[in-house]
Chain A
Amino acid sequence: MIDLSKIKNALHLDELEKIRVELLGKNGVITNEFKRMKEIPNEQKREFAKNLNEMKEKAAALIAQKKAELEEKALELKLKSEKLDVSMFSNRSQIGALHPVNMTMDKIIDFFTRMNFSVETGPLIEDEFHNFEALNLPKYHPARDMQDTFYMSDGTLLRTHTSPVQIRTMMNQKPPIRMISPGAVFRRDYDLTHTPMFHQVEGLVVDEEGKVSFANLKFMLESFLVEMFGDVKVRFRPSFFPFTEPSAEADISCIFCEGKGCRVCSHTGWLEVLGCGIVDPNVFKAVGYENVSGYAFGLGVERFAMLIHRINDLRSMYEGDLRLMEQFK
């Protein structure tokens, strides 16, 4: 009798193929049985053929089934052999990072452009008129001391704030104006908490006389500071800037101690973050504007970046220090 149990016991695909050839190949056992047909008496032929065909089909079916089974097993083995320790591939990005000051600048620009402000820029080398005089900083003002300003040998200077862009914009455009001007500014100061170059964002809104009020300024800056620092309290303290009147400084409740008082906020619970005010009439006079009203504000981007990202060392930001930058991936 033909033994089909071998099929079931086959362990490998090779072995199974060998069995298939043994059974169904040209010289296979079953093939050879068919060859015996002519020896079978006629009356038994029908029965013999029927049995043999059944046998052949059964063998083929068993082989196919076993083959699928063994293939699946082989694949399983192969997959198993490909096993990786995926945990070794954690946290290995090859990307770089944006600079925290520029990231902060981007965020500030995003806020104000969404509030329908335009973005304006101006040259870093400025003249006395745009940097000082037009901003109600007369020649004898203490802020114009040689101590603070980088002068060029031809009498020009490196802008000490982004405010000259306000003047340029007002002189080139007509009200209404809603603008911010981000950029680098320069002061002659270099120590732990000062770098000779840093970044500011200046804002200016000008509209008809009687239209723009301190209450409007307060609304805009409160929205802005909450957007930048999250859920903070905002307070305004009256202050003084030559180019605004009334002037104020805006504080946020300390983000480190939530207003309880800590080293960073000098135990006051508040952090000073920007200066602002109603545009002084002398500024409008300098650019030839009449019957207008406006507000202006200015902030230091490095200070924002340091507070938002909890960076303690100002100077490390200008050294390209990867120990710092890597943390912003």
Chain B
Amino acid sequence: MIVTRKWLEEFIDLKDFSTEEISDGLNSIGQEVEAVKKIRIADKVVVGYVEECEKHPDADKLNICQVNVGSEVTQIVCGAKNVSKDQYVAVSVVGAVLPGNFKIKKAKLRGVESFGMICSSTEIGLPKLEDGIMVLDNSIGELEVGKNVSEYLDDDIIELGVTANRGDSFSILGIARELSAKFNIPLKEISAYEDDKNAEGLGRLFQIEGDIDNSSHYLKGFNIENDNIPFKIRYRLSLVEEKVTNNICDFATYTTVATGVITTIYDNYKKLIFKTENRIDVVKSEEKIIYETGIKMIKMPENRLGNFIIDTNFIEPEIVSTIVYETKIKTDEIFFRSSRGSNPDLKLGMNYIINELNLVNAKIYNGSYDLTNEIEKKVLSVNLEDIYSIIGEVIDENKIVNILNKLQIKTEVNSSEKSIKLEIPPFRHDLVNKYDIAEEILRVYGIDTLTSKPLIFAEKNRINDTIKKIEFLKSIREKAVANGFFETLHFVFDSKERYKKYSIPVIKDNEDILNPIVTELDTLRQTTILQLLDAASFNKKNGYKKLSLFTIGSVYNELREESQKIGFVWSGAKYKENIAHNKNETVDFAFFVEKLSSILGDFELVEDKHIILSHPYQSAKVLIDGVEVGFIAKLHPKIAKDFDLDDTFIAEFFIDSLPNKEFKAKDIVKIQKSTRDLSLVVDKNQNYNEIKKEIETLNIVEIVEFYPIDIFDLDTKNSLTLRFILQNSEKSLTDEEINGIIAQVIEKLKELGIELR
């Protein structure tokens, strides 16, 4: 909602308050000021009167005007089509400086001298009002030739973010009412129009027929013989960014914005039919719908002069919103007001528009049609103690009564019961319970005035699985960072097309996003890897060589079940280049696995050729304590190429499968450990896991651990060296005992066809 200071002053006397004070005041009571703009017309732009206007002899499009600018009559050459004799106009005289540092100088146009410029609205920094020059009239005050235009047009514009519950504040009057409550100034009365008994009766103009269920209408008629819309109306509508049509509709819009009463104007139909059709209250002529009450204007008036019908109307916001929601009918800006709650004071709206029409000598028909539903008085009783406990402070009773009265809520205090009976004004659709009343009191009282108080509550253990998981994840994230990974954040959206391209299963169409924002984000992700690759690729383009990223987030399987994954990508260099790492070592499987182990702890890798996006011969399932928790793989080089990446490794784990271990210590064995290395000749395609399992079947307690320490090529076979750590918990092992154990291992490995080297 945009208001102007001068328009507000029609409803309330603000002379003691600066615009800054007004905006601070509005902010403090919950009418958020989003911007304040000051309209200031430049000096030396004066009111002029066009005394003569003739065509330029040498230029079809130019006019030579003799313009009275007060001090003199001066000659101005003007190119506007709409300039003519007897107009009041804004003249920039020589020496004026217009917006954009446009200096007005004496000029010669096709041989004719010109001393200034007749201005359009945009040339002096105003919104566009019409094609050509701006023609002024007395609606903005008695025009005096030579006076600065700024005296008539300067204004302050306040842009407010009125909240959706405050339909009553979507008008100049509504904001004036708020200021009246804030500053304790009474509102000015809008003078009531008295019918002229001698005027022609409304019945001669049109008849009405029918009945409607939900809405109220109040109708009158008028005749107008001047089709110039007053400058004030067009100017103010443009300042508050409302549509200016330059026809009779501007009167209706002006009234709606000023009073909050929805006002519509129709051509002079002989008969208007009011009917509820498909739940919608329509105004019709013969079979044609003219207006859907509170929803949409169907047929705008076509005439510029003559007879017109005015309809000030109202429909309950909840009713109209529900109907629109359920019938999915199209709406226009009228619905914006009606759905938030427009002003139901139809007579006030009618008085306002008639006052404006009278200013342009319109003839008002005698009488009215009143299709008003009686609005039930809303009465509410609130207990003061309840109000105090909602707010958290005892506020003086008189203060409360005063605040409520200023908001035009009538009060009746019951001192013995400490309660107040309230009569809610009809324009406050939002006040229905004690919480709403508490809010009214609090907002005018001032939240900043309220003393903060700590809540006293009973202790309770609020540690749950969620916070434990968050803390576990935090430890993983911190370890990932210590191991060189940067944490990234991605949308849970991804592109269905690329999922199909990379053979990743997608969610079924009938369960997928109905209204994606762009096609690249048209499904829910199943993996975080593609987005990590996007980020790696993006950073590579920016010149980064070490691309190590991880992310945690929700993913969805084909059944659209949500789970959380942690994904890792390492591409390019192992190290950020520095004095110690300058050889451009690139990441490899061993390095990547070591980094991940440093984050997640020890895990077991089991060959798996069917992992998404992966190099089929460098990919593994990851098991921790025998449970599959995710995968580690080299990115398939074809896919790496798609992302313009070099050697890249990927890994992804299910968060809920990762064990949050509690460590239990065993007694420390103080007996010396022994080490034996065993070099074996193995087949090229011998899987280490098989060797490991084979040795484990021996179940020798003295083998504390064993692991491969070296592998190299022997032409047709490989040489594999295993290191065994041996220990007996009671006594040192003798060489004989150790040799015995090793012999058992050798014997066992023979079953796999493995020999000693």
Contacts and interface: CB of A to CB of B under 8 A. Distances in A.
Contact of B477 (A102, A139, A212, A235): A102
A125 interface: yes
B595 to A, nearest CB: 10
Given A95-B484, A176-B458, A319 B538 contact: yes
A121 interface: yes
A102 B480 CA distance: 14
B476 to A, nearest CB: 11
Interface stretch (A12-20, A38-46, A69-77, A215-223): A215-223
B65 interface: no
Contacts of A146: 515
A294 to B, nearest CB: 10
A140 B329 CA distance: 12
Is the contact region of chain B dominated by helix, strand, or loop, or is it mixed? mixed
A207 B457 contact: yes
Interface in B250-307: none
B542 A151 contact: no
A266 B159 CA distance: 13
Interface string A87-111: 0110010111111011000100100
Interface stretch (B129-137, B217-225, B572-580): B572-580
B453 A216 contact: yes
Nearest to A216: B455
Interface in B600-652: none
B724 interface: no
A98 B484 CA distance: 11
B321 interface: yes
B732 interface: no
Interface stretch (B50-58, B194-202, B430-438, B711-719): B430-438
Contact of A214 (B392, B511, B580): B392
Interface string A181-223: 0001000111000011100000001010111111110111010
A246 B435 contact: yes
Contact of A94 (B453, B539, B575): B575
Interface in A119-164: 119-121, 123-125, 139-143, 146, 150-154, 158
Interface string B535-579: 110110010100111110110000010100000000000011011
Interface stretch (A2-10, A22-30, A57-65, A320-328): A320-328
Interface residues on A, range: 35 or more
Given A215-B450, A216-B455, A236-B447, A247 B439 contact: yes
Interface stretch (A48-56, A237-245, A252-260): A237-245
Nearest to B487: A99
A313 B549 CA distance: 20
Interface stretch (B99-107, B463-471, B659-667, B679-687): B463-471
A140 to B, nearest CB: 4
A249 to B, nearest CB: 8
A96 B390 contact: no
Interface string B160-173: 00011110000000
B28 A237 contact: yes
B513 A152 contact: yes
Interface string B125-160: 000000000000000000000000000000000000
A278 B438 contact: yes
Interface stretch (B397-405, B409-417, B488-496, B583-591): B488-496
Contact of A119 (B386, B467, B554): B467
Contact of B492 (A117, A143, A184, A321): A184
A89 B580 CA distance: 8
Is the contact region of chain A dominated by helix, strand, or loop, or is it mixed? mixed
Contacts of A120: 464, 466
A119 B471 CA distance: 11
B748 interface: no
Contact of B435 (A97, A248, A280): A280
B428 to A, nearest CB: 13
Interface string B374-405: 00000000000110011111000000000000
Nearest to B28: A237
A143 B165 CA distance: 12
Nearest to A317: B489
B55 to A, nearest CB: 50
Contacts of B550: 96
Contacts of B509: 153
Nearest to B430: A240
Interface stretch (B29-37, B352-360, B749-757): B29-37
B32 A212 contact: no
Contacts of A205: 455
A281 B442 contact: no
A178 interface: yes
B696 interface: no
A293 B517 contact: no
B554 A92 contact: no
Interface string B441-466: 01100011011111101111011101
B20 to A, nearest CB: 11
A249 B455 CA distance: 20
B371 interface: no
Contacts of B512: 152-153
A215 B514 CA distance: 43
A318 interface: yes
A213 B390 contact: yes
Interface of A: 88-89, 92, 94-99, 101-102, 106, 109, 113, 116-121, 123-125, 139-143, 146, 150-154, 158, 176, 178-179, 184, 188-190, 195-197, 205, 207, 209-216, 218-220, 222, 235-240, 242, 245-249, 266, 278, 280-281, 293, 317-323, 325-326
6 contacts: A95-B482, A96-B481, A113-B462, A140-B318, A213-B392, A218-B447
Interface of B: 27-30, 32, 34-35, 163-166, 318, 321-322, 324-326, 339, 385-386, 389-393, 433, 435-436, 438-439, 442-443, 447-448, 450-455, 457-460, 462-464, 466-467, 470, 474, 477-478, 480-493, 509-518, 521, 531-532, 534-536, 538-539, 542, 544, 547-551, 553-554, 560, 562, 575-576, 578-580
Given A153-B511, A213-B392, A293-B389, 19 more contacts: A92-B576, A96-B482, A96-B549, A124-B492, A125-B560, A150-B513, A151-B515, A152-B511, A153-B512, A210-B389, A214-B390, A214-B438, A218-B392, A238-B30, A240-B163, A240-B166, A248-B30, A320-B488, A325-B487
